[in-house]
Amino acid sequence: MTCAAFSDNRGANPVEALSHETGSWALRFLLITLAITPLRRLTGWRRPVLLRRMLGLFSFFYASLHVLVWLWLDREFAWGGMLADIAKRPYITVGFLSFLILTALAATSNALSMRRLGLRWKQLHRLVYVAALLAVLHFIWLVKADLLEPMVYLGIFSLLMLLRIPRSRKARPFRVMKKRVTA
| For the chain, percent of residues with pLDDT exceeding 70 | 85
Give the per-residue pLDDT at 140: 96
pTM: 0.82
Average pLDDT over residues 94-115: 96
Closest C-alpha to 130, from 111, 109, 105, 147: 105
Other Cβ atoms closer than 10 A to 18: 22
Q: Domain segments of the chain: what residues?
A: 12-163
Give the per-residue pLDDT at 1: 44
95 Cβ partners below 8 Å, 6+ apart?
23, 134, 135, 138, 142
